[in-house]
C-alpha cells in the first residue's frame, strides 16, 4: 500500500495518521531517499564512499534522516558506510553496529556477535580497504553544522584505525549531507500540507474570541493555549511559540525577546511565531492578528496597508528564488527590489524540513542583511522547502505615524523543476478578534 493510500482515510480525522501508519509512511520515505536521492547526490558530488559515524546521544545531524522512525538513537557506536559501485551495481549500504533498518542496510557482525570497540574499527578498515575508494568522505565542516557531525573523538579513532595510507584519502563531505538533508520527496508534500492546515487552523482559533477576551487575556495565555493544543493533538513543537503585542502607543517589536504577561486590548495588533513537529518534519509560521474596537468590522486602512507591504515583499522574494542562485544573491536582488518599491523591511528566509532551521542556503539573517558568508553562498536547488520569513515596517497614520512591524512567515516548496509555490496559502488578511 502506498503512502498516499495510507493517508487517504486517516487525515480527515487527525493531523497525522496513527503511529503505526506514520511509521509505514516514514519507512517508505527513507527507502526512497536512500535509493533515489542519495545515489544521485553522491554522483553529483563525485563521492564514491561516504562514512557516517555516530555514538549513542552524540548522533551526527544527518543520522535521523538515514534511519527508520523506530530508531531513537545510535546503538553504542553506529557506522554507516555508503559505497557507490556505479550505475549498474548501485549503492552499497553497510551498517557496522545497529540494525538493518527494515532491510535497508546490510549489517556486518564480527564472528556472529555485535561488533564494538577495536573490532568495529578493524572491520571498517577492512571494508574500506577491500573496496579501495579513491576518497572517503566524512562529515567535517567549519561552515555548516549539518556537515560537521564527525566528533573530534571519533575522528581520532578513525584516523588511528585507518593508518597513514588510508588517512590520505579522507575528504570533507560538506555538500553531500547538506543536500541530502535539504532535498524533499514529492511524497512528503501531502503530509506537510496537512500539517500546515493544522497550524493555520490553530492560529485562527488562537487569534479569535474563542481564546482572547480583550482586557483579560495576556500574550502568554495565548502561547500556552497553543502549546496545550499541540500536546493534545499528539504533535510536538521544535521551538516555544511567541505572541507579541503592538499598541497604538507602543509599536515595533524586539526580535531578541518578547514581553511576557502583556494584556491584549481592543485596537492591538498581534503577531505569532509558531511551529509544529510531526513525522520528523517541522513547520514554521508567522501570522498577524488585530483586535477589533467596538463598532469596527475591519482594521484601519493604515494597518491593512502594512500587511500588504509584507505580501509585496513576499512576492519580490519568490520571484527571485531560482535554482542555481546563491542565498546571498537572492537576498541582494530582493533587497534592491524592495527599496525600489519603497518598502522598509528585512529578509531572513531559511530552508525547512527535517530540521526547523534546515539545511541549505540562508537568504539573510535578521541581523545580517548584507548576506551570510558561507551559509548564504549555498545555491538554491530544486525539490527543497523554505520558510519565507521576512518583515516590513510601515508608518500608520491612525497611530500618529508610528511604524507598525509586520512579521510574516509561510512555508513554500520548490518542485523538481524548481518552480516555487506556497505549501498551503499565505496570509492576505488579519486574523480578527471580535
- Does CATH number 3.40.50.2020 belong to domain 184-433? no
- Predicted pLDDT at 10: 38
- Predicted pLDDT at 117: 67
* Residue 141, Ramachandran bin (φ over 0: left; ψ between -120 and 50: alpha; else beta): beta
Task: Please say whether the beta carbons of 275 and 282 come within 8 A.
Answer: yes
- Predicted pLDDT at 198: 96
Nearest to 430 by CA among 324, 327, 310: 310
* Cell reading at 84: 557507490
> pLDDT tens per residue, the chain (434 residues)?
444 444 444 334 567 899 999 999 999 999 999 999 999 999 999 999 999 999 999 999 999 999 999 999 998 999 999 999 988 888 999 999 889 999 999 998 655 445 666 889 999 999 999 999 999 999 999 999 999 999 999 999 999 999 998 999 999 999 999 999 999 999 999 999 999 999 999 999 999 999 999 999 999 999 999 999 999 999 999 999 999 999 998 877 877 777 889 999 999 999 999 999 999 999 999 999 999 999 999 999 999 999 999 999 999 999 999 999 999 999 999 999 999 999 999 999 999 999 999 999 999 999 999 999 999 999 999 999 999 999 999 999 999 999 999 999 999 999 999 999 999 999 999 999 99
Task: Please say whether the beta carbons of 16 and 195 come within 8 A.
Answer: yes
Rounded Cα distance, 237 and 231, in Å: 9
Rounded Cα distance, 131 and 86, in Å: 12
Tell me if domain 34-181 and domain 184-433 are identical in fold. Answer: no
Whether this model's pTM surpasses 0.85 = yes
Bridge partners, residue 324, by sequence? none
In CATH terms, 34-181 corresponds, of 3.50.50.60, 1.10.645.10, 3.40.350.10, 2.40.110.10, to: 3.40.350.10
The string of DSSP codes covering 59-83 is: --TTGGGTS-TT--S--SEEEEEEE
Sequence spans of domains, the chain: 34-181, 184-433
Rounded Cα distance, 416 and 327, in Å: 19
- Predicted pLDDT at 37: 98
Rounded Cα distance, 381 and 236, in Å: 28
Helix or strand (DSSP H, E) at 54: strand 49-55
Task: Please say whether the beta carbons of 39 and 31 come within 8 A.
Answer: no
Nearest to 408 by CA among 244, 287, 312, 267: 287
Helix intervals (H) in 132-257: 152-167, 175-182, 189-206, 219-232
- Predicted pLDDT at 250: 85
- Predicted pLDDT at 110: 55
C-beta neighbour count of 37 within 10 angstroms: 18
Beta pairing, strands 269-274 & 242-246: antiparallel
- Predicted pLDDT at 391: 98
Amino acid at each position: 500500500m502506498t503512502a498516499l493510500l495510507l493517508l487517504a482515510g486517516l487525515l480527515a480525522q487527525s493531523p497525522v495518521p496513527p503511529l503505526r501508519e506514520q511509521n509505514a509512511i516514514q519507512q517508505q520515505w527513507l527507502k526512497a531517499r536512500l535509493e533515489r536521492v542519495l545515489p544521485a547526490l553522491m554522483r553529483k558530488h563525485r563521492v564514491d564512499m561516504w562514512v557516517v559515524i555516530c555514538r549513542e546521544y552524540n548522533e551526527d545531524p544527518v543520522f535521523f534522516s538515514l534511519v527508520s522512525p523506530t530508531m531513537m538513537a545510535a546503538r553504542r557506536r553506529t557506522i554507516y558506510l555508503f559505497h557507490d559501485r556505479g550505475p549498474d551495481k548501485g549503492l552499497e549500504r553497510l551498517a557496522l553496529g545497529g540494525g538493518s533498518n527494515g532491510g535497508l542496510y546490510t549489517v556486518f557482525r564480527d564472528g556472529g556477535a555485535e561488533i564494538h570497540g577495536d573490532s568495529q574499527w578493524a572491520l571498517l578498515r577492512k571494508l574500506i580497504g577491500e573496496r579501495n575508494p579513491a576518497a572517503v568522505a566524512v562529515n567535517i565542516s567549519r561552515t555548516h553544522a549539518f556537515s560537521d557531525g564527525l566528533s573530534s573523538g571519533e575522528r581520532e579513532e578513525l584516523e588511528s584505525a585507518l593508518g597513514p595510507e588510508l588517512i590520505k584519502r579522507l575528504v570533507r563531505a560538506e555538500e553531500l549531507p547538506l543536500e541530502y538533508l535539504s532535498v524533499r520527496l514529492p511524497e512528503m508534500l501531502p503530509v506537510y500540507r496537512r500539517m500546515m492546515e493544522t497550524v493555520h487552523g490553530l492560529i485562527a482559533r488562537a487569534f479569535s474570541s474563542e481564546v482572547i477576551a480583550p482586557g483579560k487575556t495576556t500574550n502568554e495565555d495565548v502561547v500556552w493555549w497553543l502549546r496545550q493544543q499541540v500536546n493534545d493533538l499528539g504533535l510536538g513543537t521544535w521551538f516555544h511559540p511567541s505572541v507579541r503585542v503592538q499598541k497604538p502607543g507602543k509599536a515595533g517589536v524586539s526580535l531578541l525577546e518578547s514581553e511576557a504577561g502583556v494584556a491584549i486590548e481592543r485596537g492591538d495588533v498581534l503577531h505569532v511565531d509558531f511551529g509544529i513537529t510531526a513525522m520528523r518534519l517541522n513547520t514554521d509560521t508567522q501570522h498577524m492578528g488585530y483586535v477589533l474596537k467596538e463598532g469596527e468590522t475591519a482594521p484601519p486602512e493604515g494597518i491593512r496597508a502594512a500587511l500588504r507591504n509584507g505580501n509585496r515583499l513576499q512576492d519580490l522574494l519568490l520571484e527571485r528564488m531560482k535554482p542555481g542562485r546563491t542565498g546571498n544573491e537572492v537576498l541582494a536582488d530582493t533587497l534592491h527590489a524592495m527599496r525600489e518599491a519603497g518598502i522598509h523591511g528585512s529578509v531572513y528566509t531559511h530552508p525547512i524540513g527535517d530540521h526547523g532551521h534546515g539545511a541549505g542556503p540562508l537568504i539573510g539573517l535578521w541581523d545580517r542583511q548584507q548576506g551570510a558568508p558561507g551559509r548564504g553562498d549555498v545555491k538554491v536547488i530544486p525539490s527543497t522547502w523554505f520558510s519565507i520569513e521576512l518583515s516590513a515596517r510601515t508608518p500608520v497614520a491612525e497611530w500618529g505615524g508610528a511604524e507598525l512591524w509586520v512579521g510574516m512567515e509561510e512555508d513554500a516548496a520548490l518542485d523538481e523543476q524548481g518552480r516555487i509555490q506556497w505549501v498551503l496559502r499565505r496570509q492576505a488578511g488579519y486574523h480578527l478578534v471580535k
